[in-house]
């Protein structure tokens, strides 16, 4: 089966799988939040399985001996929408910083709200940053892993986007180490189009950056480490 046909089959299976779970588990929206988080985990493992069986794409977690657990702050490279799905597969109880526009998507927005994701308004300026920090503190009242994409949007493999101030605000105000994550996901799951290219998608968790760095030093280190490691993964 050629790459195009495999990709078409995967896209069909992906949407059927997503729609079926969205409808089947609707009653969980009336149950405790952790039940909804478990659905996201189950969904993510299914997507990873279909990638391997249909598209010959393996997905690997690399870097630390184990994923961050408990209260943790994660800053991940963002090349495609799979970067979101994948984190549910190995983080115990994660929440994401996400654009408010995504909350308008039927089913997805409902589950995201129930899972208590953090919603940001990109045009909100200083007020949006204050709300981001406030909501992050609230979510981390539980032992959750907060995931943010510092660039705020998907970028092409090998391309460095502008690292936005939200991640620096969280790093400063929460006083937690931050776990950088590199990836080559966009090589095999491009940001645009339906083609899924065989190979290995890697999510590499780098050594955490300790709290307390000055803002400029922190941003330089975060960007430098994520970009260098992500570019190295492009050579696989």
What is the C-alpha R_g of the chain?
17
166-204 tens-digit pLDDT: 999 999 999 999 999 999 999 999 988 899 999 999 999
Quote the pLDDT of residue 153. Answer: 86
The tokens describing 34, both together, are 């952790």
92-142 tens-digit pLDDT: 999 999 888 888 888 888 999 999 999 987 776 778 889 999 999 999 999
> Residue 104: is it exposed, middle or buried by C-beta count within 10 angstroms (0-12/13-18/19+)?
exposed
pTM recorded for the entire structure: 0.93
3-state secondary structure of 70: coil
The tokens describing 81, both together, are 């929408």
Quote the pLDDT of residue 124. Answer: 67
Q: Can you tell me the distance from the alpha carbon of 68 to that of 208, in angstroms, rounded to the nearest whole number?
A: 10
7-63 tens-digit pLDDT: 999 999 999 999 999 999 999 999 999 999 999 999 999 999 999 999 999 999 999
Quote the pLDDT of residue 181. Answer: 97
Report CA dihedral (63, 234, 18, 153) to the nearest 10 degrees. Answer: 90
Quote the pLDDT of residue 214. Answer: 97
207-224 tens-digit pLDDT: 999 999 999 999 999 999
Nearest Cα residue to 158 out of 191, 206, 196? 191
Contact status, residue 204 vs residue 183, Cβ threshold 8 Å? yes
Which residues fall within 8 angstroms of residue 190, CB to CB, at 6 or more apart?
A: 80, 197
3-state secondary structure of 140: coil
Q: Can you tell me the distance from the alpha carbon of 4 to that of 115, in angstroms, rounded to the nearest whole number?
A: 35
User: What are the domain boundaries of the chain?
Assistant: 3-233
DSSP code per residue over 143-197: S-EEEE-TTSS---TT---PPPTHHHHHHHHH---EEEEEE-HHHHS-SSSS---
62-93 tens-digit pLDDT: 998 888 989 999 999 999 999 988 999 999 99
Q: Can you tell me the distance from the alpha carbon of 164 to that of 151, in angstroms, rounded to the nearest whole number?
A: 6
Q: What are the distances in angstroms from CA 162 to CA 58, 78, 158, 173, 214? A: 29, 12, 13, 21, 19
User: In the CATH hierarchy, which top-level class contains the domain 3-233?
Assistant: alpha beta
């Amino acid at each position: 089966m050629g790459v195009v046909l495999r990709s078409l089959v995967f896209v069909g299976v992906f949407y059927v799988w997503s729609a079926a779970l969205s409808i089947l588990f609707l009653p969980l929206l009336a149950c405790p939040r952790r039940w909804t988080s478990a659905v996201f985990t189950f969904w993510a493992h299914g997507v990873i399985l279909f990638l391997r069986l249909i598209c010959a794409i393996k997905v690997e977690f690399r870097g630390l001996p184990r994923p961050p657990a408990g209260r943790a702050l994660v800053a991940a490279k963002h090349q495609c929408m799979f970067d979101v799905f994948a984190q549910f597969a190995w983080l115990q109880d994660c929440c994401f910083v996400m654009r408010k526009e995504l909350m308008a998507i039927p089913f997805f927005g409902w589950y995201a709200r129930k899972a208590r994701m953090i919603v940001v308004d990109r045009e909100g300026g200083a007020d949006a940053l204050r709300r981001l920090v406030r909501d992050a503190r609230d979510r981390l009242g539980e032992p959750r892993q907060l995931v943010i994409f510092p660039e705020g949007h998907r970028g092409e493999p090998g391309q460095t986007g502008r690292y936005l101030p939200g991640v620096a605000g969280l790093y400063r105000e929460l006083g937690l180490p931050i776990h950088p994550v590199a990836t080559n996901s966009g090589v095999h799951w491009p940001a645009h189009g339906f083609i899924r290219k065989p190979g290995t998608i890697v999510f590499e968790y780098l050594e955490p950056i300790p709290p307390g760095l000055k803002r400029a030093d922190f941003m330089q280190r975060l960007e430098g480490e994520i970009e260098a490691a992500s570019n190295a993964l492009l050579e696989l």
